[in-house]
Amino acid sequence: MYQLQLLCRRFLAALALMMVLTAVDAPALGRSALAQVEEAAAPGFGPAVAGMIDPAAVSEPERAARFPDLLHAHVDVYWSDRFAESGRSYRPPAGVVGFTTTIDTGCGLADPETETAFYCILDETIYYSVEFRRIIDENIGDFGWVTVVAHEWGHHIQRQLGYDLVILPYQGGDIAPITLEQQADCLAGAYTDSAELSGWLDPGDLDEAMLVTGLSGDPPGTSVFDPSAHGTGSARVVAFIEGYELGFAGCGLDL
């Protein structure tokens, strides 16, 4: 889960620092992720090598009905392909649901003032605050948003493979929550690698992914044994890069 109060305080300051260090105007970083997905879905554009994401699959009617946002559907295609390659049956999330007011989820009430994005194991749905998405889209970029969704999708994959994702962290489990969180970061990196291979990333998109991941680190002094711990920003970026460089196999995923 991404923590709204921490992120909102850090985004603008971190983005300003990045702009000073790179001397790049944010709009000049390249096409939006959505524009790239739409372009790739045009007739005549298709996967050329193993590991590429089939753009035609993004807009398949059944998938489009479940995930009308092409950016979300793109992540779904990636995992559908990975499960098919391993001979396993894939079950997509029930949906990706944005909310602007308090919403009743399978895991209880979610308030957009305190929640950012999370995966509910009971209804297998990804939920997010629309305001949180706006902050990321406007201050980091839409591939930053895709990275958040890919992280939460990673929890769905963990759930489907039998990992013990407890409803509340303090209830315990076989694997420490911080380990599962950083594995989800790694899986987001693996997706990003495939998206890049498919020609859907521009210079700057990878920066957006690592920026949003790094900004989502725990506050200084957070214990690794804290049931809500995700890890430091640097640790989370390292996990993301492992997935980006090694693919999902580098994330210790039994698939």
Which DSSP string do the residues of 71-94 spell out, in sequence order? HHHHHHHHHHHHHHHHT------S
Q: How far is CA 133 from the centre of its chain?
A: 12
| Rounded Cα gap, residues 28 and 25, in angstroms | 5
* Domain boundaries, given as residue ranges, for the chain: 4-251
Q: What is the pLDDT of residue 177?
A: 85
Which region holds residue 131: left if phi is over 0, alpha if psi is between -120 and 50, else beta?
alpha
Residue ranges of the chain with per-residue pLDDT less than 70:
1-51, 165-174
Q: Give the residues across from 212 on adjacent strands.
A: none
pLDDT of residue 1: 52
CB 34 within 8 Å of CB 73: no
Q: Both tokens of residue 45?
A: 């554009």
Closest CA relative to residue 2, chosen from 183, 185, 204:
185
pLDDT of residue 22: 37
Looking at residue 173, what is its pLDDT?
Answer: 53
Name the pTM for this structure. 0.80
Residue 56: C-alpha distances to residues 52, 95, 144, 192 (Å): 12, 20, 23, 18
Give the pLDDT score at 211.
Answer: 96
Report which residue type is found at 20: V
Q: What is the structure's pLDDT at 181?
A: 93
